[in-house]
Structures are given as C-alpha cells and as structure tokens.
Structure 1
Amino acid sequence: MKKAYNILLIALGIIVLSWFLPWLYSIVFPSAASDPFIAYSPVNDRMIVSETGDDKNLAIYSLDADGNRKEGSYTKEQRDSLLPQIYYTQLMASEALPDTIAGIEVGVAAFKHSQWVFSALPRDINKVMPEVYLMMESMPARIDLEDPKEVFRFRDGKVEFIDMETNAVIEGRSKRFTDIFNERGFALPMRAYSANITSRKPYDEGYLMVDANGDLYHTKMQAGRPYMMKVNKPDSVKVAHVYIMENIDTRHLGIVSDENHNLYVLERAGYRLIPLPVGKVDPEKEKISIVKNIFNWVVKVTGPEGVRWTALDSDDYHRLAFYSKTYTESASQKAATYIFPYELSFTSVSDCYASPRFEYFSWHAIFLNVVLAVILFVVYRRRGRVAPCIAACSVITLIFGIFAFIPLMIVKN
C-alpha cells in the first residue's frame, strides 16, 4: 500500500512541477518584448516607428515603403507633426495643426469622425459557441438602443424566437424569420457569426452570419420584422470567420476572412466585399488589429513567429507600405530549453479551452537530464535502494528531467 502511495505521490509531483516550474521561471525571468508602435504618415509617406530600446529610451524613426529604415531620427514634436491624425490634440494645443493635409481639409471633428480601432484575438473564435443568440431591435421606438428581450435558436431547421422573461416561443416572429432564412437560401448549421450585443453603441447592425456553404449573410431585426441580405461574392470564396463593425463613420460593415486565409473588408454600400492586400492571415492563430484614420489604415497581424504591419490607403485600400519583424529567443528562453524537457499548461492565450497541453519539447534538456539521472543513481546507491528501483527511477529522471528529479529525491520510496 505504501509503495502504491509513493508512486502516486511521485506521479502527481511530476505533473504539478511540469506546470509550476516553467510558470515560475517565466515570472522570474520575463521575456516578452513589446512591439513598437507604427503609424503611417500622410505628410512624408513613410511609416513612423516609436520604439523603446533596451536602454528604456524612446527611439523615433521612419521606414520606407519596403520597410527599410531611413537615416536619422525624430523628436516627439517632429513625430507629432508627421502624424497629425493621431496627435491632433497636441498640435491644436500648440497651434500647429494645419488646415489641409495631403489635399484633404482636416480638423478635430473630421479626425474623430473617421477614426476607429478594430481588434480580433484567436480566443474570440476558438471557444464553445452558444446554442441561443441574443437579438436586438435595430429600429427601437425611441432613439436610444435597448437591451435585447428576446433570443433565438435554430431548432429542426427553423428559427425559433423565445421571450427571455417568460421563456415562451414567439410564434409570429419565429415564422417570419424562418421564412426569410429559407427564401435567402441560408443553409444550416451556421458555421460562424458575429454580433455586438450592447446598447452602448451608436446603432445596431445585427448579425453577420456564415452558413454551412460558406456564404455570408447580414441579418437584423427592424421594428420587429426580419431583415436579411445575402452578400454577393465569387463562388471560390468560402467565408470562414466574420467580425461585425458598428463604427461612427458607417462606411464599413465588417471584416471577413475566408478558408484560404485571405482578409476582406465588407462595405455597407452595396455589400461590397473587397480583398485587403495584407497577405495570408489565420484568425485562429494570429491576432489582428487595425487602426484606421481619415488617411490610411495600419493593419497589424501578430503570430507566434513574429509580427507584420501593412499600411493601406483609406479610400481604395491599396498598399502603401509594409514592415515585418521576426521574434527571436531571448537569453532566458534559450536557457529554459536546456532546463525543461517540455512544458505543461492547461490554458492558452489562443483559445478558451481548459485541457492538458504538452508543449515546447526540447532535446537540449537531455544534457541536464543525464546529469540529474547520474546524481540520482549515485544517491540511491548510497541509500541502499534495490537495483530495479534505481534503474527505474534513473530512466524516469532521464525522460522527465528536473520534473521527476525533485520528487524522486524528496519522497522516501
């Protein structure tokens, strides 16, 4: 009985230490470096980079259209003048804001009306999706939007609306929505969707939905009645993920990605689906952020290997500039590969699931594993352990390294 208890205790110790030691190491020796802030200047048509170096000093410099660094650096005041769409408040305070930039009449109101920020994380889509969906009223009786009072779900090929207060099925609305879904050719089950269910927004655009065939639909409720429109697109484009937008400038309806990892913007007028020249983007593994202003977009795509920025024209979305940066291992990360043969985690920044994950296997740790196995072999010999026990524990240490060495040295077996 005692032997079984010791085996269980050692196994539990290996599991706990496989998670705890790498986590503790990452806390003691943090290695995550912040990305520079990059914006595109409509004044000199270059990317302006603001980056904090190892000496903690801010370096500001420019890149050409191909991402090559230009000679010289800028002061904060020079950067403000080169990026008026961002630092217009400071320019107004110093009375240095021009009336026109790149032939466009500008002002504080114009800057505020045309700017928005979009962000999408892999966690937004790598999660368990609900089986019921909230539905807001896009045309409320009063001006202000109201919190939704109804939900809908798909049941037996039909759309079923339910009153949240009474849990009663709303027969009339269910039939009207079911009819329009059938008329528009929506194929169940729904593959993906996006909605922004909150009353704290300027207006409501309902849902962007992707059906089983990869077709894209826009759906909302207006005065209690359904509105649904199928987005025209090439048959070769199979939509995979959607992100709805309800920005104050009202031009764009959403961001779309397809199965081939191409990125698109969906314009409200005519439901135009326009490809964005930013390269391949995998929303399930990469973070997407977009900073838009009256002159340009800066699309930032961050993945495990590195990050890249693409500047696009705000009018026709043609590419203005591109820059990429590959992540390199820090000294502490390299050292960790010689200490830990693997890492165990139960959560991830890329999804919302909790499950055991064995990652970052490293053959470099075999050197430390051998040393620890030899030490354990010698100690066990001196303690007078039997040969089978010595051999088994040495092999376990050789495989699991420091995660096994600690409990095997502590537990009296």
Structure 2
Amino acid sequence: MVKISRYILVFTAIIGLSVVLPQFYRMAFEKPTKTPLIQYSCIDHDFMIFRPDADDKWTNREGTKLTREAYEKKLPLMYTRQLVMDGTMPDSINGQKINIQHTGIFRSIFRITPDEIHAPKPKLYPLFESKSGRANLEMPGDFFRITWRMEFIDAKSNKILEEKSRMFSAVLYNRGFKFPAKSINGIPTTRKSCDEGYLVIDSANQLFHVKMAKGVPFVRKVDLPGEMKFKTIQCVDFSDQLYYAYLFTENNELYVLTPYDYMLEKFEVDDINPDEYEIRIYGDYFNFNVITIGSGFIRTQVLNRDHNKVDEYTETRPTYQSSSEGKLAQFLFPAELKITDDKSSFVNFFLTVSQSYWWLIFSLVLIAGQYFIIRLQKKKIRAEIIDLIIIAFTGIFGFIAVNIFPNKFID
C-alpha cells in the first residue's frame, strides 16, 4: 500500500512538472514577436507592410523602405484623419472623386480569434425591441432561451412569461423551426447603432433570423445552399449596414448575409479557419483585406467590393518550435501540459507532444544518471526498474519526480 502511494505521488509530481517546467522555460527564454500589419494599397495596388519590431518598419511587398509619411499616403482610406491634418489627402483615387464622409461609411474592422469561438456560451439572451422609436437601445427586463420552445424569463421574479413565450414559439414553429436551437448568434449589448435580433441555427441546421418589432415576433428563414453548416456566425454592426453577419462554414469558406434579400454572398477567399487562425477583415471604399494569422505565417487576401479576389500575399514568420530555444525545449521536454490554451477560453488539460525525438536521447542520459545514483546509494537495480522505466517514458519530469519521492520501501 505504501508502495502504491509513492507511485501516486510520483505520477502527480510528473503532471505538475510537465506544466511548470516548460512554462518557466518559455518565460525565461522565449522571445516574443509582434505580428506585422499587411494592407493593400488602393494607390499603388501593392501590399504595404508595417513591422513593429523591425529596423525597417514600413516597406512594400518587395522590401522597399518607406518613411512613415510615405507609408500613410499609400493607405489614404486607413489614415484619412492624418492625411487631412497634413493636407495630403488625395481628392480622387482610381479616377473616383473622394468624399471623406461618404468613404468613411464603408470603413469596417472585424476580428475573431479561436479562443473567442471555443468559449463558454451564455444560457440566456436579451431580445431588444428593434423598432422602439428611441435613439438608444434599452436593456429589456426579460431574457430568452430556446430549448424545447422559446422561453422568456423575467429577470426580477425569475418567472417564465407564458404569453410571450407561446407567441414567439408558435411563430418559430410555423416557420419550420426545429427545436432546440444549436446556436444563437447576435450582439447582446445596447452598445450598437440598432438591433437586428439574432441568427439562430435549429436542430436541423436550418438558419433563421429572429427579432422583435413593436412587441411582436419577426422570424425569417434563410435559404442555405446544399448541406451548408457553420463553424461560427459573427453578427456585425457596421456603418454601411450592408451585412447582418460574417458566416464561417465547416468547409473553411466565408459568407456574408445581406439584409435586403437574405442572400448569402461568398467571399472568394480560401482556408478561412477560425478554429485555428486569427481572422481579421478590414473593409474600405474599394477593397476588403481578409487576413489570416496562424502559427508561422500571416496571409492577406484582397477582394474588391464585389467580393472577387484581387491579389494575395503570404509571409512566413519564425515560430517558437523552429527557434534555437524551442529546439532545446524539445530536447529537454518530451511534452508540455498546459491548463490553458491560446485557442480556447476553457480551463482544461492541453497536451502538446514534442515534435522531435531528441528527448529520447536525453532520457537515456537521465537513465544513466539514475543508474549511477542507484549504485552510489548501494540499492538493488531490480528494485528500481520501475523508476528507470518511468524516466524512459517521461524524461526529465520522471527523473525529478522519482528523486523527490525516492524509493525507500524496498531493500
């Protein structure tokens, strides 16, 4: 029994060390890098790159060095205020007269990261009045959920509002909604220009637009091509009011949903995977810059306002694993165990196994060192075989653990 208790302690120590040691090593030796900003110039029809941690901070795709002022002039729709202040804002671009107020309406910024998708979802949502006649939105006194029906719960009394629940549930049912909802997607805050309700996916993977207008339900089914399924739907509130949301499919495609005819319009981009990459979308009067940032690369795909691809640029970046510090870590540690992950907001165990087998050589060195310790302490090798096996499979974690809790129970 004592022997079993000792191995439980050893196993616990191995888990703790596999979390702590790689993390301390990263904190001591990892060199942080900043992500460059890659934007398409509507002036030169070329890519302009800003690297915060480089000597030549502002360059174009070919690497030609630019001054900050020259860089900003290449991107007039991004640095409009600065160019107006300097008196260098062009009157026309690509033969089109530029109205600063008008072009500003088409400016949009969107960003989504994997940890925002893999995150706890709320159980209750507020349904705003979309036609209140007021300049500002007001938080309602009840919240809803969609399980076997659409239920509204009073926030003060915690009681179900039966009449409102039946009214909305009946409309959903008559529109062909299959309960319960798989996902409810919207902007559940008053900090937006207007309310457009929620985009809801039912249990049959159908898409519905649900909102409240003058106290009554508005439900519209959105026709989906084929067996389209979505990884995430991100509702937006842009000044131009041209789209309800960005929709990311299981096939790593990107669509937008238009409010005027409920059509899904495809962005002609590829490999848009919000499960793995950070996605940024910058829109302006002429183009969309769709940026994907992954481990070791950044890619910008440029579309015109008709959503057709104009150009693209990819730049690789050094990763921690490819650096000398990372390679040494793969030699020292057979694996890394984390309780948090960059791609998730949940607390869990995330295991990353070493991409190299050099740690096996280090394990052999540690086994030899443990053998020397055993001989020095005049112990029997037969009694220490399990410890040697533990070191063989867990490397430095096992070596430290078996020596923190030495085998004192077998002669």
Q: Fold match, TM over 0.5? A: yes
Identical positions, percent? 28
2:66 corresponds in structure 1 to 74
Q: Secondary structure in 2 aligned to 1:270?
A: coil
Tell which deviates more after alignment, 141-150 or 220-229: 141-150
Q: Distance in 2 between matches of 1:62 and 1:82?
A: 10
2:175 corresponds in structure 1 to 184
Q: Secondary structure in 1 aligned to 2:244?
A: strand
Residues 132 and 46 of structure 1: CA distance in aligned 2, closer, same or farther (over 3 Å): same
- C-alpha deviation, 1:325, in angstroms: 3.0
| Aligned pairs for 1:334-349 within 5 A | 334-349=327-342
Q: Is the 8 A contact 2:125 2:188 kept in 1?
A: no
Does residue 384 of structure 2 align to residue 390 of structure 1?
yes
1:67 corresponds in structure 2 to none
2:215 corresponds in structure 1 to 224
Q: Secondary structure in 2 aligned to 1:376?
A: helix
2:395 corresponds in structure 1 to 401
Does residue 92 of structure 2 align to residue 100 of structure 1?
yes
Q: Distance in 2 between matches of 1:103 and 1:387?
A: 85
Q: Distance in 2 between matches of 1:174 and 1:21?
A: 54
Match of 1:325 among 286, 311, 315: 315
Match of 2:56 among 44, 55, 58: 58
2:140 corresponds in structure 1 to 148
- C-alpha deviation, 1:103, in angstroms: 2.9
Q: What does the per-residue CA deviation read over 1:279-315, in whole Å, with 9 as the maximum and x for residues that have no partner? A: 03222222211111222111112234533211111x2
2:35 corresponds in structure 1 to 35
Q: Distance in 2 between matches of 1:217 and 1:103?
A: 41
Q: Distance in 2 between matches of 1:348 and 1:16?
A: 17
Q: Kindly tell me the number of residue pairs found equivalent between the two proteins.
A: 403
Letter in 2 for 1:359: T
Q: What does the per-residue CA deviation read over 1:117-141, in whole Å, with 9 as the maximum and x for residues that have no partner? A: 1111222332343433222222225
For structure 1, the residue ranges without an aligned partner over 5 or more in a row are 64-69
Residues 105 and 261 of structure 1: CA distance in aligned 2, closer, same or farther (over 3 Å): same
2:352 corresponds in structure 1 to 359
Does residue 333 of structure 2 align to residue 376 of structure 1?
no
2:251 corresponds in structure 1 to 260
Residues 142 and 52 of structure 1: CA distance in aligned 2, closer, same or farther (over 3 Å): closer
Q: What does the per-residue CA deviation read over 1:340-399, in whole Å, with 9 as the maximum and x for residues that have no partner? A: 101111221212322222213342211111101100111111111222333222221111
Q: What does the per-residue CA deviation read over 1:78-99, in whole Å, with 9 as the maximum and x for residues that have no partner? A: 1111101111222112111112
Q: Is the 8 A contact 1:18 1:343 kept in 2?
A: yes
Letter in 2 for 1:316: D
Q: Is the 8 A contact 1:133 1:153 kept in 2?
A: yes
Q: Is the 8 A contact 1:192 1:240 kept in 2?
A: no
Q: Is the 8 A contact 2:272 2:292 kept in 1?
A: yes
Letter in 1 for 2:59: Y
- C-alpha deviation, 1:327, in angstroms: 4.4
Q: Distance in 1 between matches of 2:151 and 2:360?
A: 59
Q: What does the per-residue CA deviation read over 1:235-263, in whole Å, with 9 as the maximum and x for residues that have no partner? A: 34334421111112211111012222211
Q: Is the 8 A contact 1:50 1:59 kept in 2?
A: yes
Q: What does the per-residue CA deviation read over 1:173-192, in whole Å, with 9 as the maximum and x for residues that have no partner? A: 21221122112212223222
2:160 corresponds in structure 1 to 169
Tell which deviates more after alignment, 132-141 or 220-229: 132-141
Letter in 2 for 1:347: T
Q: Secondary structure in 1 aligned to 2:191?
A: coil
RMSD: 2.0
Q: Distance in 1 between matches of 2:338 and 2:218?
A: 45
1:195 corresponds in structure 2 to 186
Q: Is the 8 A contact 1:184 1:230 kept in 2?
A: yes
Q: Secondary structure in 1 aligned to 2:261?
A: helix
- C-alpha deviation, 1:50, in angstroms: 1.4
Q: Is the 8 A contact 2:39 2:300 kept in 1?
A: no
- TM-score w.r.t. the length of structure 1 is 0.91
Residues 248 and 384 of structure 1: CA distance in aligned 2, closer, same or farther (over 3 Å): same
Q: Is the 8 A contact 1:180 1:228 kept in 2?
A: yes
For structure 2, the residue ranges without an aligned partner over 5 or more in a row are none
Q: Distance in 1 between matches of 2:24 and 2:140?
A: 44
- TM-score w.r.t. the length of structure 2 is 0.92
Q: Is the 8 A contact 2:374 2:381 kept in 1?
A: no
Q: Distance in 2 between matches of 1:128 and 1:51?
A: 34
- C-alpha deviation, 1:24, in angstroms: 0.7
Q: Is the 8 A contact 1:308 1:322 kept in 2?
A: yes
Q: Secondary structure in 2 aligned to 1:290?
A: strand
Letter in 1 for 2:48: I
Q: Is the 8 A contact 1:140 1:146 kept in 2?
A: no
Letter in 2 for 1:318: N
Does residue 116 of structure 2 align to residue 124 of structure 1?
yes
